[in-house]
C-alpha cells in the first residue's frame, strides 16, 4: 500500500517537528511548508492526500489559502488548525468546506485520528463491517435453523437489510458472495414459511400478522382519532432496504416514531395488494362486495382505478365520516401542482398521495439498457431511489410537513425482487402475463418449482375459469415460455419484478413519522 502524503502548512512549522516525526513513524509521508503560497505550489505537483492548514499565517492567510485549494483541488480534504476559538473564524472555515477543525495546541493523537478519519475511513469501516458480519454470520445461520414465526421473520429480514447496507461499501468480493448466499438461503426458507401459513392466515385459521387488508385499519385509522391532518404517502413498489437508504434524508425533516414491516398478500402486485390495502378486504371480497370497483385481468381498464372509492368505502365501514383526498403523482408536473396545493390539503382529515416513480423505474429498467445500467444491482437501485427523492417534489412535501403539525405515513403496497432463475411454464393465450405469477387454463408446470393454489377461493382470489389455478414464483425465480426461451430469458434476466413470493416483495415498510 502506498504511503499517505500529508501537506502541512504552518509559519511555525519548525515547532511541529515532534508531530511530524510521530506521523512519519506511523508510516505517513509529511511535506512541511511555511506559507499558503508554498502549499499551493506543492499541491500543483500532485500526490497530496490531505492538507493541514494553519489559519493564522502571514501573507496568504489560512482562510484565503483554503479558498484557493477548494477552487482548484476540491476533493482534497483540508484540516484547519487555529489558536482562535472565535465563532466567526469557525463559521468562515466551515463555510469554506473544511473537512475538520482543530484548536491549538493539538496533540499527536488528535492529528493521527484526523488523518485516519479522512484518508482511511472507508477502508476501516469496510474492515470493521466485514469483521462484524463474520461474527453475525453464525448467529443468523442458527436463527434460520429455528422455527421462526411471522414477527421473528420480520426481525431477521431487518437484520439482513442492515447488513446489506453495511457491507455495500466493502471491496471484499468474498464477503459479498457469503452474504448473497446467506440471503438466498433465507429467502428460500422464508418462501416455505409463507406458503405453509398463508392459507391459514387469510382464512382466519391461524393468528395472522399485520397484512394488506388489515394494515390501514390497525395502523392508519388510529391516527385519524386526533385533531391533526394525516398524510399517507404510498410509494409504489417500495422495498424496506430502499426505505432504510433514504431514511437519513427523511429524518433531516421528520422524526420516525414507528419503523414497521407488514406482510403483503399475493399476488404482490398493485391490482391485488394495493386494492386490498385500501379496501381493507381480500380481492375476491372486493369483487363480491363492490363489483363495480373491481377490474379482472382479462377486462378492459386500469386494474387500480378505483382506489379512492375503495378507501372511501373502508372509511365509512369503520365510522369515519371525514373529508379526505386522493392524489396520484405520475410525473414532476403533477408533483409540483401537489406541492402548491399542500396548504389547502391541511384542511382535510386524511390525504393519500401515491408516487409511482419506483414502479416506473422498475419497468423502465426492464425495457431500457440505459436505465438498466443506472440501476444495475441492489446498491445502484437504492442509490437511484435516493437521487430521485433528493430532486423530487416529494421532498418538498416532506419539508412542508416538517413545518406543520400533521401525522405522516410512508408505506407501499408491495416490493420487488431481482430475478435470476427461469422456470418453464406453458399455457393458453389467455394466461396472465406477469413474470412472477400465472393464472389461466391449461397451465403446464412442475408443481415442485412453484407455490400452487388450485382453488383460488382458498386465498380469496377471483376465479376466471372453472379450471384456473394460480401459481407463484419463489425467491429469484421467474416464469418463461418455451417459445423463444433463450431470447425471453436474456431479456428479463436480472431485472426487478414483483408478483411472487420473496422477502423483498412480501415484507414491506409502514413508517409513521411526525414533526
**Helix 108-119 crosses helix 121-144 at what angle (to 10 degrees)?**
70
Q: Is pLDDT of 1 > 60?
A: no
Q: What is the mean pLDDT of the chain?
A: 90
Residue 401 belongs to domain with CATH number: 3.40.720
For the cut 70, the answer to whether the pLDDT of residue 116 exceeds it is yes
Mind listing the pLDDT tens digit for each residue in 211-262?
999 999 999 999 999 899 999 999 999 999 999 999 999 999 999 999 999 9
pLDDT of residue 368: 66
Instruction: Check residue 179 and give its pLDDT.
Output: 93
How high is the pLDDT of residue 300?
59
Strands 417-418 and 496-497: antiparallel
Least confident span in 95-104, 384-393, 413-422: 95-104
Report pLDDT for 55: 85
Angstrom distances, CA of residue 353 to CA of 120, 230, 394: 43, 11, 10
Tell me, yes or no, whether 400 and 261 share the same domain.
Answer: yes
Chosen domain end from 119, 151, 176: 119
CA distance 236 to 174: 34
* Together in a domain, 327 and 400: yes
Q: According to the model, what pLDDT value does residue 93 have?
A: 61
Q: What integer pLDDT is reported at residue 94 of this predicted model?
A: 65
pTM, full prediction: 0.83
Q: CA dist 344 to 115, 227, 340, 393, 421, Å? A: 52, 16, 9, 17, 49
Please report whether residue 459 resides in a domain.
no
Structure confidence at residue 88 (pLDDT): 64
Write down the pLDDT at residue 171. 79
Whole-angstrom distance, CA of residue 235 vs CA of residue 250: 14
Cell numbers of 93, please? Answer: 472555515
Task: Identify whether residues 230 and 339 lie together within a single domain.
Answer: yes
- Lowest mean per-residue pLDDT among 36-40, 57-61, 370-374, 481-485: 370-374
Q: Judge whether 440 lies within some domain.
A: no
Q: Is residue 496 part of a domain?
A: no
The range of the structural domain enclosing residue 158 comes to 123-203
Looking at residue 254, its pLDDT comes to 96
**What is the torsion angle, in degrees rounded to the nearest 10, for the CA atoms of residue 267, residue 418, residue 307 and residue 512?**
110
Residue 114 is part of a domain; what is its CATH number?
A: 3.40.50.2300
Q: Does the pLDDT at position 301 exceed 70?
A: no
Q: Are the C-beta atoms of 105 and 76 separated by less than 8 Å?
A: no
Q: Average pLDDT in the 6-29 region?
A: 92
- pLDDT at 288 exceeding the cut of 90: yes
**Torsion 382-387-393-395 (CA) sign:** positive
Which among 119, 145, 164 is the end of a domain? 119
Same domain, 244 and 362: yes
Burial grade of 67 (CB within 10 A; 0-12, 13-18, 19 or more): middle
**Is the pLDDT score of 114 beyond 80?**
yes
Q: What is the pLDDT of residue 102?
A: 86
Question: Could you tell me what percent of the chain has a pLDDT over 70?
Answer: 92
Residue 169, pLDDT score: 79
Indicate whether 134 belongs to any domain: yes
The mean per-residue pLDDT over the stretch 393-411 comes to 96
End-to-end CA separation in angstroms for the chain = 48
Query: Where does a domain end: 119, 152, 169?
Result: 119
For the beta carbon of residue 73, count every other beta carbon within 10 angstroms. Answer: 16
CB 252 within 8 A of CB 368: no
Assign 276 a pLDDT band (cuts: 50, 70, 90).
very high
Whose CA is closest to 339, among 329, 348, 349, 347? 329
Instruction: For residue 75, give the C-alpha cell.
Output: 476533493
Using alpha carbons only, what angle is made at residue 304 by residues 290 and 506, rounded to the nearest 5 degrees?
A: 105
Amino acid at each position: 500500500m502506498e504511503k499517505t502524503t500529508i501537506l502541512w502548512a504552518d509559519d511555525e512549522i519548525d515547532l511541529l517537528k515532534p508531530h511530524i516525526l510521530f506521523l512519519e513513524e506511523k508510516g505517513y509521508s509529511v511535506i512541511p511548508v511555511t506559507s499558503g503560497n508554498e502549499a499551493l505550489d506543492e499541491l500543483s505537483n500532485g500526490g497530496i492526500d490531505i492538507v493541514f492548514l494553519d489559519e493564522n499565517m502571514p501573507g496568504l492567510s489560512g482562510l484565503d489559502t483554503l479558498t484557493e485549494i477548494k477552487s482548484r483541488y476540491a476533493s482534497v480534504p483540508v484540516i484547519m488548525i487555529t489558536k482562535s476559538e472565535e465563532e466567526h473564524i469557525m463559521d468562515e472555515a466551515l463555510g469554506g468546506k473544511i473537512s475538520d477543525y482543530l484548536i491549538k495546541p493539538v496533540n499527536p493523537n488528535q492529528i493521527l485520528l484526523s488523518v485516519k478519519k479522512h484518508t482511511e475511513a472507508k477502508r476501516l469501516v469496510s474492515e470493521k463491517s466485514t469483521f462484524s458480519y463474520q461474527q453475525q454470520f453464525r448467529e443468523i445461520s442458527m436463527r434460520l435453523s429455528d422455527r421462526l414465526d411471522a414477527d421473528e421473520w420480520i426481525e431477521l429480514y431487518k437484520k439482513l437489510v442492515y447488513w446489506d447496507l453495511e457491507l455495500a461499501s466493502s471491496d471484499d468480493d468474498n464477503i459479498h458472495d457469503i452474504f448473497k448466499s446467506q440471503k438466498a438461503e433465507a429467502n428460500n426458507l422464508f418462501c416455505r414459511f409463507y406458503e405453509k401459513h398463508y392459507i391459514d392466515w387469510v382464512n382466519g385459521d391461524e393468528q395472522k400478522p399485520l397484512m394488506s387488508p388489515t394494515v390501514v385499519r390497525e395502523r392508519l385509522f388510529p391516527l385519524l382519532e386526533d385533531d391533526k391532518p394525516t398524510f399517507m404517502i404510498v410509494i409504489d413498489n417500495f422495498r424496506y432496504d430502499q426505505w432504510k437508504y433514504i431514511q437519513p434524508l427523511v429524518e433531516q425533516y421528520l422524526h420516525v416514531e414507528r419503523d414497521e414491516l407488514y406482510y403483503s398478500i399475493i399476488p404482490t402486485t398493485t391490482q391485488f395488494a394495493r386494492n386490498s390495502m385500501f379496501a381493507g378486504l381480500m380481492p375476491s371480497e372486493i369483487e363480491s362486495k363492490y363489483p363495480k370497483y373491481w377490474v379482472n385481468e382479462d377486462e378492459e381498464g386500469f386494474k387500480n382505478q378505483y382506489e379512492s372509492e375503495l378507501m372511501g368505502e373502508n372509511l365509512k365501514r369503520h365510522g369515519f365520516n371525514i373529508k379526505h383526498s386522493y392524489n396520484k403523482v405520475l410525473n414532476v408536473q403533477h408533483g409540483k401542482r401537489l406541492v402548491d396545493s399542500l396548504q389547502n390539503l391541511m384542511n382535510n382529515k386524511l390525504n393519500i398521495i401515491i408516487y409511482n416513480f419506483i414502479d416506473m423505474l422498475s419497468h423502465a429498467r426492464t425495457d431500457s439498457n440505459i436505465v438498466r445500467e443506472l440501476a444495475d444491482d441492489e446498491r445502484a437501485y437504492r442509490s437511484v431511489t435516493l437521487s430521485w427523492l433528493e430532486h423530487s417534489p416529494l421532498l418538498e412535501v416532506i419539508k412542508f410537513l416538517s413545518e406543520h403539525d400533521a401525522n405522516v405515513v410512508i408505506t407501499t403496497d408491495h416490493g420487488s425482487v431481482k430475478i435470476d432463475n427461469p422456470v418453464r411454464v406453458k399455457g393458453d393465450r389467455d394466461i396472465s402475463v406477469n413474470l412472477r405469477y400465472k393464472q389461466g387454463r391449461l397451465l403446464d408446470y412442475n408443481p415442485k418449482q412453484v407455490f400452487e393454489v388450485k382453488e383460488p377461493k382458498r386465498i380469496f382470489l377471483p376465479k376466471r375459469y372453472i379450471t384456473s389455478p394460480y401459481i407463484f414464483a419463489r425467491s429469484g425465480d421467474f416464469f418463461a415460455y418455451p417459445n423463444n426461451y433463450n431470447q425471453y430469458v436474456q431479456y428479463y434476466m436480472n431485472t426487478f419484478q414483483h408478483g411472487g413470493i420473496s422477502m423483498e416483495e412480501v415484507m414491506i415498510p409502514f413508517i409513521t413519522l411526525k414533526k
